[in-house]
Every structure is written in C-alpha cells, then in structure tokens.
Amino acid sequence: MEATLAPAKALSPAELLKTEEAIGFVKDTFARELARQLQLTKVSSPIAVLDGTGINDDLNGVERPVSFPIKALAERRAVVVHSLAKWKRLRLTELGIPAGRGILTDMRALRPDEDYSPIHSIYVDQWDWEKHILPEQRTVAFLKETVEKIYDALRTTELRVAEEHADIVPVLPEQITFIHAEELLQRYPTLSVKERETAAAREYGAVFIMGIGGELSHGEIHDGRAPDYDDWSTATEPGLRGLNGDIVLWHPVLQSAFEVSSMGIRVDKAALLRQLALRGCPERAALGFHSLLLAGQLTESIGGGIGQSRVCMFMLRKAHIGEVQVSIWPEAVRQELSSAGIALL
C-alpha cells in the first residue's frame, strides 16, 4: 500500500521564522562566496527601465514585460525588468570597473507570462553579476574556469548549510562536468531536451551545458536565448558553437534536473551582428544599447544570473519554489500543494 502525505498545515509563526532564517543564511553565505570567488562589488540596480532602449532582457523573445506610463516623463512608458543582462554591462562600463573585477546585484523581476510549476513563479529573484574581461579571455577555457568558481561557491554553501542543519546531507560532487548541448544530443538522440538534461544531471550530479541558443545538428536549439547578450554562435571546436551555458544540478527531492544559473561570455560586435541576423531582427542594431556595443563603447564581459529561490530550494531540499519565496499562486495550486503536504510561505 502506497504511503500518502497528510495535507499540509499552515506554518506556525515559529516555523515561518525558522524557514526565513534558513533562507537568509543560504542567501548571505552564497552571495559572500560568489563575490569572493569572482571579485565582485555589490551595487544597486533598477526594478524598471525605459521602454524602447533595448536594455530590458527579451528572454526567449516572446515574454511580455509589465509596462506602465510615467506621468513626470510625459507618459513615456517604462517596463519592469525581466533580468539585468544588458543593464549590468552598461553599469560595468559606467563605473569603470577594471579587468578581473565585476559587479553583483540583487535582481527582482516580474515575468507574468511564466507558466507556474514547482520551480517557476511570476516573481523572480536572482543574483545578477557581470565581470570585466579582456578580449583574449573570450575562450571556452576561461568560461569553464569561471563556472568552476561559481560551483565552488555552491559547494561551500551546501557544506555550511549542512553544518547548520543536521537533516541536510551534502550531495554535490567535488567537480562539475562540462558537456556541450550538441554532445548531449548525440548521446541521447531519442530524448527530449528536458529528458537529456535529467539524464546528464542524474549521471553526474552537476553539469554545465554549453552552447545554449544556437542551432544543433538536428536543426533545433537546446533552449531559447536572446541574440544580444550571451554569445551562443561563436565557433569553439569543430561542429560546436557557443561561449555560454547553464549550470544544472540533480535535485535530490524532485529527482530531476534543476537549473540554477544561466550565464556566458557576452557578445562582441561580430557575435551581436551575427545573432541579430540569425534571429531575423537586424533592426535592433539601431537601439541604444546595441549602438553603444557596435561603436566599441561597452566593456567586454562575462556575466549571468543565479536564481536565489532556486539555490534556496536546492540547499534546503524543498520541493516547491513557493516554500522559499512569497508570490501569487492560484487557489487550485495552493490546495493541490496542501494535499501533497507542501506548505507555501
């Protein structure tokens, strides 16, 4: 006879406080380790930017931003950010950050077109970071070196959480495994994208999947990427392209692949023009951000976003993102989760 979970009870004030303290510990520990590993300085960041500047992140190119008029600017419209991928590169340049150092910020965003799931909410919180690099560092080797530093910060955080919580057993392997999306396709040609990710994460525990956004040998992409921040089109090895990727872990509670970060070396002039053409939107080159980049006025950089709620979910072994963040959920979802023994914040 199968065991079933009792319906979840509302968390008591003491339980809520304990959960919030654990979330705070994870966030403080990881942010400190990330800044140390990558030499990042904490900076302030916007919740909204003016529309029509090309600064907001288009994500997969179809998500609608939250938009509103500003009375004091003659009703000019602004949009709530999807992420700070391009804003960070502008700020890095404005602050004159030297090569080898970078910036880190707490990004808060709204993505109203997001489909609800155990790992998706319309509210997004992530560590957004950007680091000044030299042109000669636009290589796979440098990308991997940076990923390994981020992974070290994740492992250190997991070990410290385990010291604080006796019920948490560290599961992250000592090293992260690198694999290109094309290699993943060749290894599992009959599986879907998510099934390929799950197979790799199950086997290795932690993987960095490279080359996300560019067309693979079967004529499809692994996952969508906007054309104007990550470089997913530069040739790296015979048959392989892309200087970007995702950090994917094996989540021991969900028993599935669990993406915690999307990142990459940013486009230079050649990559931007190539990717705008590939996506069929060359007219975007006239936008403010793009014009600056094409004029050589933006710093070469590497950067990414790391989900704060995702990292907390993993570190605290939670089954739903609503256990570590406050968001808006349909009543049907709340009831379903309660029946499954999951209490939302």
Q: Which residues are catalytic?
A: 57, 111, 126, 246, 259, 262
Q: Strands 40-42 and 102-110: what pairing? A: parallel
Cα–Cα dist 224/11, whole Å: 38
Residue with the two structure tokens 């940013």:
266
Beta strands in the chain (DSSP E): 40-42, 48-50, 67-70, 76-80, 102-110, 123-132, 177-180, 206-210, 235-237, 240-241, 244-251, 256-265, 301-307
Cα–Cα dist 183/240, whole Å: 9
**How far is the CA of 70 from the CAs of 52, 75, 323, in angstroms?**
14, 5, 35
Cα–Cα dist 320/343, whole Å: 9
Q: Nearest-CA neighbor of 177 among 80, 245, 90? A: 245
